[in-house]
Amino acid sequence: MTGTADGLEALARAGKKAKDGSPAMIAFSDGLKTEADDYRELEDNFVAISTFALVANSSAGLPEKGLKSEQVRQIFTGKLTDWSQVGGRPGPIKLVTREGDSGTQEIFERKILMGAETVSDNSVDCETLKAADKNDPIIHCKQDSTEEMLDAVSRTEGALGYSELNSFEKFPDKNAMGALSLDGQKPPSTDDIATSSYMFTEVEYAYTYRKPSIGSLTQSFLDFVTLESGQSIIEHAGHAPCERAEMRDEMQERCQQEKNEQLEALG
């Protein structure tokens, strides 16, 4: 599975077919996924908080202060179209985003764009506009995966995208890009997430179909991921565990706060 939606849909299908109502399957998701009727039987479990970052091709020449969230919204709605308008080197901004069923895309739209209507997908190669969209103010292409997005940003002059911070840091050609500060704050490390007010973060959830029975393979793996040594693996991968031994109360409070904010946004 390459996307959040694929995994959740597979879990929902397997759950409907399972005789005991809880198949030996877990799906992971950036943020809560409760809006689809097929997901009503899915149970969410805190795993960790992930940090996301805006990433720009090095040609943009942005200063260390990065971008303000309002500037990001103006860029993605086509009101700001040149890097010189936000303190960078002169040159057109080219947007690179994920497809609509991406969990990362949903987080970006909810937390950063805040409902702003963006310029539609209008480019195949991230370099030129489609003939039908030749009058659009800014180039916007979409990619199927985080790796494809980072690859597009790294090789496209003037490109702006986003990804999980750990994915960016592990990307082979990351020197062709930069992770931007947002509203004057750098993307926080796993040690700083609990007390940071940086807004582009999200809880990672492990979903099961209903509540698995005690002692089942599904429950045992869930305990490993959320409570036991799996947490050190998660932290090593660049995420901040919600059950982290150090600052446990602070981390649990931050994870619950993130969940409450999303539930409020979902209405």
Residue 76 lies in a domain: yes
Nearest to 34 by CA among 25, 45, 26, 43: 43
Answer yes or no: do 154 and 236 share one domain. no
Query: CA 129, CA 81: separation in Å to the nearest integer?
Result: 14
CA 73 from centroid of its chain's CA atoms: 17
List the domain range (segments joined by +) for residue 260: 4-49+203-266
Other CB atoms within 10 Å distance of the CB of residue 238: 18
CATH code, domain with 236: 3.40.190
Answer yes or no: do 29 and 58 share one domain. no
Answer yes or no: do 95 and 113 share one domain. yes
Answer yes or no: do 104 and 162 share one domain. yes
Q: Report the sign of the C-alpha dihedral through residues 105, 204, 152, 184, in that order.
A: positive
Answer yes or no: do 72 and 162 share one domain. yes
Q: Is the pTM of the predicted complex or chain greater than 0.75?
A: yes
Answer yes or no: do 58 and 42 share one domain. no
Answer yes or no: do 80 and 92 share one domain. yes
Higher pLDDT, 58 or 244: 58
pLDDT at 75 over 70: yes
CATH code, domain with 121: 3.40.190.10
Q: What pLDDT score does 3 carry?
A: 66
Which residue's structure tokens are 């690859």? 151
Pairing of strands 159-164, 42-57: antiparallel
Total number of domains constituting the chain: 2
The segment with the largest mean pLDDT, out of 35-44, 120-129, 191-200, is 120-129
Residue 195 lies in a domain: no
Residue 186 lies in a domain: no
Query: CA 255, CA 203: separation in Å to the nearest integer?
Result: 6
Answer yes or no: do 144 and 80 share one domain. yes
Q: What is the CA radius of gyration of the chain?
A: 19
Q: What pLDDT score does 228 carry?
A: 67
Last residue of a domain, one of 163, 179, 195: 179
Query: CA 15, CA 43: separation in Å to the nearest integer?
Result: 12
Answer yes or no: do 113 and 165 share one domain. yes
What is the per-residue pLDDT across 126-155, written as a single tens digit (0 to 9) for each?
999 999 999 999 999 999 999 999 999 999
Residue 194 lies in a domain: no
What is the per-residue pLDDT across 20-35, written as a single tens digit (0 to 9) for each?
778 889 999 888 876 6
